[in-house]
Chains A and B, each alone.
Chain A
Amino acid sequence: MSDDVAIKTENLTKAYRSFWGRKNVLALNKLNIVIRKGEIFGLLGPNGSGKTTTLKLLLGLIFPTEGSAHVLGKTTDDVTVKNRLGFLPEESCFYRFLNADETLDFYGQLFSIPGKERKLRTNRLLNRVGLEFARKRPLKQYSKGMLRRIGIAQALINDPDLIILDEPTSGLDPIGTRETKDLILELKSQGKTVLLCSHLLSDVQDICDRVAIIDKGELQILGTIGELLASKDIVELLVRNLSKGALMEVERFIQEKQGDVISIKNSSGTLEDLFLKIYAANISNSKADV
């Protein structure tokens, strides 16, 4: 396996069997993917397509029926590789009676991180995920979004080289979503590899370098966002401060050159951008009032 490969699967197959040992559900069928180090890789697919099964197979939580997977150069049953892994499960499930500090301390101890270092990392991560204000509150009092944030923090407690995130933005508000996306991009800038699995396409499109779409356990398509979304016969022209006359001239010019104008409209942006704009304005207003 090449040095720049973080994850490689070969004919990775998982079939769930019934009580009588018969193959009941083929959750994953001969999956072959290679994820390079330092990239953000998105695994897309509808519910029940086999995304979470793939992640669990990579983490050694479940075992393949056929095929194999290598993570950071080691097989999935090698526990030592998990020292370099961070994992955020689909549902943030932790000991509910522990508070944020205790939770991160518990997971830190599982990595045998020394006490002082654990404390430093806990402080830094709680600050990073915006949970400092609730660090002494038991997790059972946390909202879904807060649980997601503590989940992300525990996934990063060991400063991993490869981070596997299952639906990282599920349950988060738009601000949390943006912060998480920023965090993922920051991790990439630190040279870390991120494998994220989501069915929120916009999130994946915003941050992923490459994506794979799987459905009914089978790989449908794999490539960079640019490659997959590019339409070779359609050109998008974004222009600012263009007068109405100039716009008509551009349209006439295109028609002269045998091009078809599909639509001309003002750029609308995204709902997320609008929400963040309003939120930022409110914050600056309240600061001005103070």
Chain B
Amino acid sequence: MQQILVIAKQTFKEAVRNKILFILIILGVITICSSAFMPVVGDGREKIKIVESMCFRSITFFGTLAAILLSASSIPTDIDNKVLCTITAKPVQRTNIIFGKIIGFVYIIGVLLLIMGSVSYLLIRYTALKQSTQDSSVLLARKAFGPVNLQITGDSARRIGNVTWTEGGGKGASVWKFKGLSSKDKNDNLAIEADFLIEGKKRSTGKIPVKIKIINPYSARVLTESMEISRNKPLLLRLNGKSLDGSAELTVVVSPENSGDFLGVRADDLRIFWGEKSFGCNYLKGLTIISTQFLLMVVIAVLGSTFLSLPVNILFCLFVFFCGSITDFMRDLSTVINVFETREHEHVVSEVMQKSNVLLVCLNNIIKKPILLLSYILPDFRYYSVGKYFVDGINIPCKRIFMGFGYAVLYALVCLPVSFLVFKRKEIA
């Protein structure tokens, strides 16, 4: 253990004296501070949201870059400089070198997060202080509750992709059930937010009237609201927390009022917001998730550094990070190729056209399958995207932190043994 800590300390010292870390921290701080001067169209709330968004994006970008550049370069540089030659000639297990390096990078990430996180926090607080009290309330993190399940009633429902369409006029309804609702202040505003797809009889208006029933199963109290839902505009319904009558359960039923109007819903389209948490607590949670992402990147970079040269390893890490951030897009892309292929097969094609399917087969084997495979093998960095929580003013659930951490641990459990195996057989020439 002592050897691991010695190597970790040395790795940290080396990075501190390395100009790259300082340059990245300075650039990060400059970018964070510059967000305060960004021109904003809108009220004070928008200003705070933009600063928050910029701060988190800067921390993520510069932190990831630092994690990649430092951890991808450490072992190859030590091999090139022959420093590793003298270290491995001492009674040090090679696994200890890898552990030591990783712990050293954890120290570095800690320092980086401490500096950039503190600057960001102060800037966000300062920006909020300059706005009105009402605007600065956007910093509060609303507790979000997702539905336990979604039921579709009526016979007219049709499912297209992952969207279920129900027709109005009493022919169908969407029923969301919520459980485990809780808030310290029972009088808090309770808000129902939804983002539905609509298809109306009168296409030109882009609106359909819907009936919303809020049922408290505990007291059997029913609250009915009629609203108009617009296309591209989320539905927002504010209630008083008292309406729950102490119940932790709630059922929300939404149905279009008129026959011929359709409502397209998905399970996670409707959420309840009830109660608020402090910004500081939410901010710390956000930083914790981001730090887990850095840790994951360090593990991948160290794995690469055991068998790749410095420039190739940096490219490899950037590739992993880039593709890991767009896994959804990669899967969509492979689906597009699939759809294209299916449509070609669906139609009656001439012999000449059938020959051209060789291209589709190639496309399938050379592009689609590898893209799909990559999207599953590469780490999914969407687990670590926290910016939208702050922009939407939503409390980050602890589950999200554990999921991100668990995902990183799972990845580390695969990457570390491979790193040890490769590095154990690596020739330090």
Contact = CB atoms under 8 A, between A and B. Distances in A.
Interface of A: 56, 59-63, 79-83, 85, 87, 89, 91, 93-95, 97-98, 106-107, 109-112, 154, 158
B2 interface: yes
A107 B17 contact: no
Q: Which 3 A-B pairs give the minimum distances between C-beta atoms?
A: A93-B82, A82-B91, A87-B89
A93 B6 contact: no
A55 to B, nearest CB: 9
B240 interface: no
Contacts of A154: 86
Contact of B82 (A59, A79, A89, A111): A89
B91 A106 contact: no
Nearest to B424: A77
29 contacts: A56-B429, A59-B88, A61-B85, A61-B88, A61-B89, A61-B427, A62-B428, A63-B425, A79-B92, A79-B93, A82-B89, A82-B92, A83-B91, A85-B89, A91-B82, A93-B81, A93-B86, A94-B83, A95-B10, A95-B13, A95-B83, A106-B6, A109-B2, A109-B3, A109-B6, A110-B92, A111-B90, A112-B2, A112-B3
Interface in B72-102: 81-83, 85-93
A93 B85 contact: yes
Interface string B16-59: 01000000000000000000000000000000000000000000
B14 interface: yes
Interface in B305-325: none
Contact of A93 (B3, B83, B88, B425): B83
A62 B90 contact: no
A60 to B, nearest CB: 8
Given A93-B83, A94-B86, A95-B14, A111 B427 contact: no
Given A91-B82, A93-B83, 14 more contacts: A59-B89, A60-B88, A61-B428, A62-B429, A79-B92, A82-B91, A82-B92, A89-B85, A94-B86, A98-B13, A109-B2, A110-B87, A112-B2, A112-B3
B6 A110 contact: yes
B428 A110 contact: no
Contacts of B83: 93-95
Contacts of B14: 95, 97
Contacts of A158: 90
Nearest to B10: A106
Contacts of A111: 90-91
Contacts of B90: 82, 107, 110-111, 158
Nearest to A56: B429
B210 to A, nearest CB: 66
B91 A107 contact: no
A16 to B, nearest CB: 9
Interface string B183-199: 00000000000000000
A85 B86 CA distance: 11
B429 A61 contact: yes
A94 B91 CA distance: 17
A111 B89 CA distance: 11
Interface residues of B, number: 23
B37 to A, nearest CB: 37
Contacts of A107: 86, 90
B98 to A, nearest CB: 14
Interface in B409-429: 425, 427-429
A106 B8 CA distance: 11
B89 to A, nearest CB: 4
A116 to B, nearest CB: 15
B91 A79 contact: yes
B91 A87 contact: no
| Residue from B83, B90, B93 with most neighbouring chain A CB atoms (10 Å) | B90
Given A56-B429, A62-B427, A95-B10, A89 B3 contact: no
Interface string B142-175: 0000000000000000000000000000000000
Contacts of A98: 13
A89 B86 contact: yes
Contacts of A56: 428-429
A112 B4 CA distance: 11
Contacts of A95: 10, 13-14, 83
A89 B93 CA distance: 19
A87 B89 CA distance: 7
Contacts of B13: 95, 97-98
B407 to A, nearest CB: 34
| Residue from B14, B91, B425 with most neighbouring chain A CB atoms (10 Å) | B91
Nearest to A89: B85
B91 A80 contact: yes
Interface in B335-388: none
Contacts of A60: 88
A208 B13 CA distance: 41
Nearest to B88: A61
Contacts of A80: 91
Contacts of A85: 89
Contacts of B85: 61, 89, 93
A26 B93 CA distance: 28
Contacts of A83: 91
Contacts of A61: 85, 88-89, 427-429
A98 B16 CA distance: 12
Contacts of B87: 110
A91 to B, nearest CB: 6
B239 to A, nearest CB: 63
Contacts of A97: 13-14, 17
B86 A63 contact: no
Nearest to B87: A110
Nearest to B429: A62
Given A106-B10, A110-B3, A112-B2, A63 B89 contact: no
Contacts of A91: 82
A56 B3 CA distance: 22
A98 B87 CA distance: 15
Given A79-B93, A85-B89, A110-B91, A63 B82 contact: no
A93 B429 CA distance: 13
A157 B54 CA distance: 51
